[in-house]
Amino acid sequence: MRKTATVFASIFGCTAVILGAFGAHGLRGADIKPESLHAYETAAHYQLLHAIALLAVVALPTMFTKYLKTIALLFIIGILLFSGSIYLLVMGDLMKFNASWAGPVTPLGGLCLIMGWFTLFLSALKYKEDSNNQ
């Protein structure tokens, strides 16, 4: 799972920068509402932030091995649903296609991200330190 999560983290990091740059340069001055542009920027920000978090969890030593798959899947699904649905909504507005079905998906993605962080928290609480793990 470490390799898969690292691949996803690198893809998410790369595309967050690309999509963030597109938002900053390609969407400025476009026929798009300011609140949609703000939502797009939030999606890119959260995507990059969680790509880094995913990479950090993968890089941690054996502390979270038992929960790595769950945490990684929650972050991956959360990024796809949260940021992906916002990108779809904004691009739908811009390109004049109906992507309103993606609106209810956004909170599900946010819930996955929250659950990823909560699982990380629980795994830290359950971790038993000894002299070999310091």
State the Cα–Cα distance between residues 18 and 68, nearest whole angstrom: 27
DSSP string, 46-87: HHHHHHHHHHHHHHS-GGGHHHHHHHHHHHHHHHHHHHHHHH
Dump pLDDT digits (tens) for 86-130. 999 998 888 888 888 989 999 999 999 999 999 988 888 887 765
Give pTM, 2 decimals.
0.85
Digit-coded pLDDT (tens) for 6-57: 899 999 999 999 999 988 888 887 888 888 889 999 999 999 999 999 999 8
